[in-house]
Chains A and B, each alone.
Chain A
Amino acid sequence: MVDPQRAAITLAINGAEQHLEVDTRATLLDVLRERLDLIGAKKGCDHGQCGSCTVLIDGRRAKSCLALAVALDGSSITTVEGLADGDELHPLQAAFIDHDAFQCGYCTPGQICSAIGMLEEARAEGAELTPEAIRERMSGNICRCGAYPNIVAAIAEVAE
C-alpha cells in the first residue's frame, strides 16, 4: 500500500539531482534545511511574509516556505549555497560584503537570492533600475537590522 503521507520526488538542487522521499506536508524550506542540510534558506516567519527563505525555483525567486516539496517534482532549485563558483563569490555576494548590506545575516541569503531573481525580471522587462525601483522590487524581503540603504547600494552596483 502506498503511504499517502509520503511521496517520491526528484529535485535538481544547485545542479545536482536529488531523489527524495518526502512527507507530503513538508515545505521545500524544511526539506532543504532538515533533510539536505542546506541551511542557507532561512525560516523567519514560515508564512511568506518576510522573504528570508527566498530561493530560485526554475530561475524565478520564490518563497520556499510557501512551496510544498511534493508539488515541485522535477523542478530546479538554486539556493544561496549554489551561487559561488568555488571560492569565487557571486558578484552580489561580494557586493553585499563590500557595502555592509547585512548585520545579523539572517535575511541575507533570501535578499541575495531575491536580488538575483529581481535583476533577471528587470532585464526581461527592460525596466530601468533606479534606487527607488530597487527599493520597491526588494520590499518583499524584510531586514529588521535595517540594512536597506546598503542592500540597495550593493544591488545597484551589480545592476550597472
Chain B
Amino acid sequence: MAEVATRAIGAPVRRIEGRAKVTGAARYAVEHDPGEVAYGWIVQAQVARGKITDIDDAEARSQPGVLHVLWHGNAPRLEEVSDAELAVFQEPRVAYRGQIVAAVVADNPEAAREAARLVRVKVHEEPHDVGLRADHPHLYKPDKVNPSFPSDTDKGDVDAALARAEVTIDHTYSTPAYHNNAMEPHATLARWDGDRLTVYDSNQGAAAHRAPLAKAFGLEPEQVRVLAEHVGGGFGSKGTPRPQMIVAAMLARISGRAVKLPVTRQQMFAFTGYRTPTIQRMRLGATGDGRITAIEHRVFEQTSQIREFAEQAATPTRVMYATDNLRTSHRLVRLDVPTPSWMRAPGECPGMYALESAIDELALAVGIDPIELRIRNDADAEPDSGKPFSSRNLVACLREGADRFGWADRDPRQRQRDGRWFIGSGVAASTYPAYQRDAEATARVQPDGSFRVGIAAADIGTGARTALTQIAADTLGVPVERVRVDIGDSALPRAGVAGGSMGTSSWGAAVAKACEALLAEMERGGSEAHADTKAEIEAKKDLARHAFGAQFAEVRVDGETGEIRVSRLLGVFAAGRIVNPVTARSQFIGGMTMGMGMALFEESVMDRRYGDYLNHDLAQYHVPANADVADIEVAWIEEDDPELNRIGTKGIGEIGIVGTAAAIANAVHHATGLRFRALPIHLDGLVGAGT
C-alpha cells in the first residue's frame, strides 16, 4: 500500500449531508415523490398461533378510494424466499401475533388505514407458547450461532477446575426482549416500470436487499433497484429485508401504481426484528488471589416457529479472560413469537452484561478491586482459539478510564450517601470483533477535476458518507470538498450491509483501493478505476481481531423512591484508527446511551395470555430521553494495528453499547448493596433501599 498523507482522516469533518438533514431537504424512503402514488396499510394477525379460515374483505373494498385488499387467497405466488418472514400471503398459517395477514392499498392514507380496520380475519386459534424458560422441554442446540460461530465450545476441564477452585461464582442473569426502535419506522416505496422494480426502502444495505427481492419476484438482480440514500437509523433491524418491502412491491404490481407502505411504530414490535430475551448461567472459578481458573457461560434464548435466529451471547466470553478451562453453549427454543434478529452488538451486548456482572461479583468475593481483577486476568492470546491478538488494549482502556474517572478516590465500601441519595460507581469491560467484508468501489475524475466515488454502502446515521469521503480525499491527496461519494443505491458497486461495525473497514478499504487505482490510471491517461478487496481479505493472517473498551458509571439512587439517576458515564475504547473524531464520539455516546436504556428503561413485555408484546409504542417502551442523559464522556486509545485493513479501523458502531449495562448495574450494587441479575433494573426492587 502506498504511503498516504493523512489530512482528512482524523480531522473533525462535519457530516457531508448535515445541511440536508437540518433543513428538511434529506429524503428518506417514502418521502420520495414518484408521481401518482397509492398508499398501503398492513393488517396483522390477532392470535399467536393458528390457521386463517377466511378473510372477509368486502366492507374494506367498498370504502371510497380503496383499490385492492391482498391476502393469501388472492395474492401472487412468490418464487424463491429463503427467509420465511418474507413469505407474506403465501399460506394461511399464523406463526405469531402481529404477523402480516392482509394489506390494503388505497388512493390516500386515510382510506387505506380505515379499510385495514375493516378487514375481517377469521382464524382457527390454537394454543400458543410464548414463554422462554431455561428448563423448557423443547430447548435444542442450534448448528451454529449468528453469524457462523460454533454453538458450543469446551476447552480444558471446566468441571474439575470448578471443583478445585478456591472461590466460585454461580449466578443466572437475564435480559428481556429489546426492540431496536430506530426513529424512522421501516418503510418502502415500490414502483414497477414494466418488469423492472424500483424500491426506496429504509434499510442498512441496498445491495443486500436487492437479491432477496429479485428472487422473491423471479427477477434478475439487474431488474431490481433498491435506493436508500438517507436512513433514519436501524441498529440492526434494517440489516435484513423486512416483509413490508415484499408487501409494497406486491401492492404496487397489483394496483399499477407506485405504493408507499410505511410501517407503524406499533407494527414494528411484531415483524421488524428485536433482541431475543436471554437467560444466562455464569459459573466462574478462581484462586484466592483472583486468578480465573474456569469459566462456563450457558445461554438460553428464543426463536420463532418459522426461522432460526441464534444470538451469539456467549461468544464474548471466548475472547475476554485468560483461563485454561472454558466452556460456552447456546440453547434455543422455538416459540410462537416473532423471529428475533440483530440489534446493536447482537451477542456481545447481552453476553457481556452477564460476564461483566459475574466478574464484579468475583472481585467482591476475592476482595480485589474490579479493575485490578480484570488486569490480572488479561489474556495474551484469544482464550478459546489460542490465536494471537492483532492488538488488545483492554488494560490501557481500564487504566486510562480509571484516571479520567477518578477511580483511585473511590471508596470500595457500599452505600455511601449524599442526603437521601445513595451514590455508587461501577466498571465493566467492552469488546466487539473487528470484522471486514469484501466490497467493490469505483472512482473517477470529472472533467472539472473533482472526483466521484461510488459504492453501495449505507449511512444510517453512522457518518459513513463522511468517513468514506475523508478516506477518498486522503488517498487522492485532495481536500474533501473535491470528492463526492455516492452511496445507498444497489446500482452502485457491491457492498455489504451496515452491520457488524464493519462499514468503514469494509467500504473504506474498497474506496481507498479504488482511489489508488484511479491515481495509477490517471498517470496512464485514464479517468476511471474499479477495485475489489476480495483477494486482500482472503490473504489476511489468521489472527484474533477485536476492539476493547472500559466503561465507568456513577449512579445516584434515591433511598426512598428507588429512582436511579446515571450522573456520569465514561467510555474509553481501543478501536483502531478513528477516522472522524466528531462522528466517532457521537457513535460511542449513542451506543452508551442505548446501553443505559438497556440497563434501566427498556423492556418488551410479553403478554403470555395473548402472545403479544404489550408495550408496543414509545409511550410504554421507554428509550432514554434527553433528561436521562446527564454527563457522558468518551475517550479512545489510538491504536496503530497494521493487521486490520488498509484503513486501520476496528469499527465503533456497536462497542459503545457493550458493557454499559453491566457498569450501571455494578454501580447500583456499589450504591445500594443490592445485586440485580435481571434487566432492566426496576424501581420496585430499590424502593426503601435506604431503610
Contact = CB atoms under 8 A, between A and B. Distances in A.
B582 to A, nearest CB: 5
A122 to B, nearest CB: 15
Given A44-B185, A149-B632, A138 B626 contact: yes
A12 interface: no
A84 B25 CA distance: 12
A148 to B, nearest CB: 4
Interface stretch (B10-18, B154-162, B514-522): B10-18
B617 interface: yes
Given A40-B24, A97-B14, 4 more contacts: A102-B15, A103-B461, A146-B589, A152-B626
B590 A145 contact: yes
Contact of B626 (A25, A94, A135): A135
A105 B17 contact: yes
19 contacts: A26-B109, A39-B27, A44-B265, A44-B618, A45-B265, A47-B265, A49-B617, A89-B23, A96-B22, A97-B19, A100-B14, A103-B462, A105-B17, A105-B232, A109-B24, A132-B627, A134-B626, A136-B626, A146-B624
B183 A50 contact: yes
Contact of B586 (A98, A100, A142, A152): A100
B463 A146 contact: no
A46 interface: yes
B625 interface: yes
B614 to A, nearest CB: 15
A37 B619 CA distance: 28
Interface string B435-464: 000000000000000000000000011110
Nearest to B26: A105
A78 B89 CA distance: 42
A64 interface: no
B311 to A, nearest CB: 20
What are the 9 tightest A-B residue pairs by CB atom distance, in nearest-first order? Answer: A40-B24, A104-B461, A106-B232, A146-B593, A105-B21, A103-B461, A146-B590, A39-B31, A80-B24
B42 to A, nearest CB: 14
Contacts of A20: none
Interface of B: 14-15, 17-28, 31, 33, 39, 64, 108-110, 114, 181-185, 230-233, 235, 262, 264-265, 460-463, 582-583, 585-587, 589-594, 617-619, 623-627, 629-630, 632
Q: Which of B17, B591, B592, B625 has the most CB of A within 10 A?
A: B625
Given A135-B626, A139-B625, A102 B22 contact: yes
Given A42-B184, A47-B619, A50-B183, A147 B590 contact: yes
Contacts, number: 182
Contact of A145 (B33, B233, B625): B233
Contacts of B262: 43
Contacts of B586: 100, 103, 145-147, 150
B185 A142 contact: no
Nearest to A97: B18
B18 A39 contact: no
A46 B266 CA distance: 10
Contacts of B265: 44-47, 49-50
A30 B114 CA distance: 15
Contacts of A80: 22-24
Contacts of B15: 97, 100, 102
Contacts of A81: 23-25
A151 interface: yes
A96 B22 CA distance: 7
A135 B632 CA distance: 14
Contacts of B18: 96-97, 102
Contacts of B619: 47, 49
A107 to B, nearest CB: 5
B590 A106 contact: no
A43 B19 CA distance: 20
Nearest to B632: A149
Contact of B183 (A44, A96, A98, A136): A44
Contacts of A44: 183-185, 232, 265, 618
Q: Which of A40, A45, A96, A106 has the most CB of B within 10 A?
A: A106
B629 A104 contact: no
A100 B590 CA distance: 12
Interface of A: 5, 23, 25-26, 30, 33-34, 37-47, 49-50, 52, 79-81, 83-84, 89, 93-94, 96-98, 100, 102-109, 112, 132, 134-136, 138-139, 141-152
A102 B21 contact: yes
Contacts of A139: 625-627
B279 to A, nearest CB: 27
A94 B231 CA distance: 21
Given A42-B183, A104-B231, A144-B182, A83 B17 contact: no
A105 B459 CA distance: 11
A144 B183 contact: yes
A21 B153 CA distance: 66
Contacts of B233: 103-104, 106, 144-145
B627 A135 contact: yes
A38 to B, nearest CB: 7
Nearest to B629: A148
A4 to B, nearest CB: 12
B24 A148 contact: no
B14 A98 contact: yes
Contact of A50 (B582, B593, B618): B618
B23 A106 contact: no
A104 B583 contact: no
A93 B264 CA distance: 28
A78 B240 CA distance: 37
Contacts of B461: 102-106, 145
Nearest to B18: A97
A141 B626 contact: yes
A141 B624 CA distance: 11
Contacts of B24: 38-41, 79-81, 109
Q: Which of B20, B23, B265, B583 has the most CB of A within 10 A?
A: B23
A100 B626 contact: no
